[in-house]
Amino acid sequence: MDYGNTDPLSRQPLVVDSRSADRPGMQEQSIATASDVLVSIRGLSFRRGDRLIFDDLNLDIRRGSVTAVMGPSGSGKTTLLKLITGQIHPDAGHIEVDGEDVHRLDKAGLYRLRRRMGMLFQSGALLTDLTVFENVAYPLREHTDLPPSLLRKLVLLKLEAVGLRGARDLLPNELSGGMARRVALARAIALDPLMILYDEPFTGQDPISMGMLVALIRQLNDAAGLTSILVSHDVRETASIADDLYVIAEGRIIAHGTPAELAADRSAWVRQFMDGLPDGPMHFHYPAPPLEADFRTRGAR
Amino acid sequence: MGKQHRIEVMVGAFMVLGFLALFFLAMRVSNLSLDTNAEGYRLSARFANVGSLKVRSPVTMAGVRIGRIEEVRFDKTTYEAVVIVRIDAGIDTIPEDTFANVFTSGLLGEQYLGLEPGGSQEYLRDGDEIANTQSALVLEQMIGQFLFKKAGESG
Amino acid sequence: MRFDSLARLGRVGLGALERLGRAHLLLVSIVLGVGEILRRPGLLWAQIFNIGVLSLLIVGVSGLFVGMVLGLQGYYVLAQFGAEQSLGVMVATSLVRELGPVVTALLVAGRAGSALTAEIGLMKATEQLSGLEMMAVDPIRRILTPRFFGGVLAMPLLAAIFSAVGVMGGYFVGVGLLGVDDGAFWSQMQSKVDFEEDLINGVVKSLVFGVVVTWIALFQGYDSAPTAEGVSRSTTRSVVHAALVVLGVDFVLTALMFGD
């Protein structure tokens, strides 16, 4: 059962921070500008079964920025969002959002915090039995006591912001994937949150709706003074709007910097991921014993 | 609002239907309607053996139900069974010398109390006791007596 | 390994215990959410509609046929002892005590329970539950609690309708077709079917079945793997488990209620 020797990943030296040593370290920087940091993750470890998803992860997200977390599929990007929003608990370490430790909050406190977070799910997660209008109105009806006329105006404004005011009477199953995501975005900003988390907003989108989403994310971030956390593996689109990029793999941050810094980074890991090379530190082959050894074994599958 | 209203109407109709069904079961199918009948008057009777006579077993006269058993208890001084009977209001002309029998309806049926009117001009009133009683027939006793008699005849 | 099969058995047992624990925790959270339906009764009406009104047809038709079959079968058996007069008693007791609550529970598990499981499972698979949570709305209170109480409230009413329609079906066959005396049919029934012993116990049974069926359906949906296969497996499990538990619980309840 022990493939330790043949595991190609364990032999690779990992480049940790793309910023060279003469630049100020991340840790130092975050202390210097603590009020500037909206989300701070310290010593985060999370395992699912035997698999270590995050190992002592440290990460900061500055207010007002679009921060992208990139990494290959299965590197736990979505898990990171779920940890930040308190949907799951870490095995070690803590996450602070706006000065509050997410996993120390009781349910009421967590729900209070979530009202200030919007999240855009991969599938949109619209309630299928409600119209577009009702979906966007849902969090407002839930958490506010607005008179119907004001509520209607607010919902129409949010829908206008994503360009779907005309689609307000459609049901989610009548929307295209891109439209559904834009409606979900309108719903996520309905309560004017502090930050929005985007889970793979670009996957499975045609170039046009992809372009729309890219532009929308940036516009919303700047116009409404939001902080955006973007999880994605679409390098080009993500790099075009992000202020700050983290690349994670193997449970660790392997690179951090602005898109320009990462583009100039020469480490093998970063190059393979950013340029989409088929082979590199991340191997084409899933870890396995040598082919001859597998051929010799009889009886097993 | 139209859809919500329709749902409410349907749910209302459903609940009315459900409670009607319950009401039907209670009043028409079960003995609730009879149970609540506290009218009429009570008589008592003593038996050496009541067999399987139970509370709510019928009390009949000439085969017509005129009341039911309200209570069956044991008298520890006389070693007898005391049966309290509630007779329906309106049946107020039961003679004093009426005979009370524990009968069985059919070979396998339930046991009930059958009253046979006597000839007295005096009528039983609330709280009176039926003096003339005939205990239940116990099948084993009958068979035993029969065998004993047969043995006596042949011996 | 030497104790492999034993270990496998142990693993199955532990897994079952763990699921049972999660199911109970879920039930507690669901019941604690009762305030939600007091604040928004509309949610409850919608679920009574989904579970009760939409099951009405199948429950009514099944009740009619079960009652008619009872009338037919009961007549042939009772006629052998010359006790056709007791047909009403037989039909009503079987329906009110057993068949009404049990068959209704099985029908609701198949008709509404499976739908509940699939609905919750799909909501989970399409991240609608997570979406609600991210909107700071508790999906258990908002989605599960109204469904649970809807099912618990609808079940006794459905069972009563089943029994009532069944008695009518038995009457139709016994009195209408086979010529049992009309008066005897009802009077015997009334004298032998006890309000507390039979009817109240039947209602208690169907309340318990309502809890069991909706609880299993909701748990299976909420606990399903968020994939198409996971949802389909949970839906099957929901019906199978509900049927088995209803029959098992029925035995226990019957032993408790009519045991003396």
| DSSP conformation class of C53 | G
CB contact under 8 A, C164 and B24: yes
Closest chain B C-alpha to C162 CA, distance in angstroms: 8
pLDDT per position as a tens digit, A46-104? 888 777 888 888 888 888 888 888 887 777 888 888 888 888 888 888 888 888 888 88
Read off the tokens for B111. 């046991």
Write down the ipTM of this complex: 0.76
- Residues in chain C with CB shorter than 8 Å from the CB of B24 are 164, 167
CB contact under 8 A, C126 and A114: no
**What is the pLDDT, as a whole number, of residue A15?**
41
Q: Does the pLDDT at position C134 exceed 90?
A: no
- CA dist A153 and A155 (Å) reads 6
Confirm if A143 and A194 have CB atoms less than 8 A apart.
Answer: no
- CA dist A41 and B61 (Å) reads 91
**Closest by Cα among C169, C127, C183, C120 to C146:** C120
Q: Does the pLDDT at position C168 exceed 50?
A: yes
What residue ranges of chain A have pLDDT lower than 50? 1-32
Query: Where exactly are the structural domains of chain B?
Result: 2-30, 39-144
Three state DSSP letters for C184-210: HHHHHHHHHCCHHHHHHHHHHHHHHHH
Confirm if C142 and C40 have CB atoms less than 8 A apart.
Answer: no
**Closest by Cα among A66, A70, A64 to A256:** A70
CB contact under 8 A, C83 and B14: no
Instruction: Give the closest of C45, C161, C186 to B21, CB-based.
Output: C161
Closest residue in chain A to residue C131, using alpha carbons only: A125
Chain A to chain C Cβ contacts (< 8 Å)? 49
Closest residue in chain C to residue B15, using alpha carbons only: C157
**Closest by Cα among C147, C154, C141 to C44:** C147
CA dihedral over A260, A264, A269, A273, signed as positive or negative? positive
**Residue A106 φ then ψ, to 5°:** -80, 180
Chains B and C touch (3+ CB pairs under 8 A): yes
Which stretches of A184-273 are assigned E, i.e. beta strand?
Answer: 195-199, 227-232, 244-249, 252-257
- Residues in chain C with CB shorter than 8 Å from the CB of A123 are 126-127
pLDDT per position as a tens digit, B45-95? 998 888 877 777 788 888 888 888 888 889 899 988 899 988 888 888 888
Query: What residues of chain C, 118 to 147, have a C-beta less than 8 Å from chain A?
Result: 123, 126-128, 130-138
Residues in a beta bridge with B102: B113
Closest chain C C-alpha to B88 CA, distance in angstroms: 15
pLDDT per position as a tens digit, A160-174? 888 888 888 888 888
**What is the pLDDT, as a whole number, of residue A22?**
41
Could you tell me the pLDDT band of residue C232, with boundaries at 50, 70 and 90?
very high
- CA dist A129 and A171 (Å) reads 7
Could you tell me the pLDDT band of residue B34, with boundaries at 50, 70 and 90?
low
pLDDT per position as a tens digit, C83-95? 877 888 889 999 9
Query: What residues of chain B, 116 to 155, have a C-beta less than 8 Å from chain C?
Result: none
**What is the pLDDT, as a whole number, of residue A94?**
86
What chain A holds in terms of domains, given with CATH numbers, is 13-116+194-199+227-282 (3.40.50.300)
Read off the tokens for A26. 């991340």
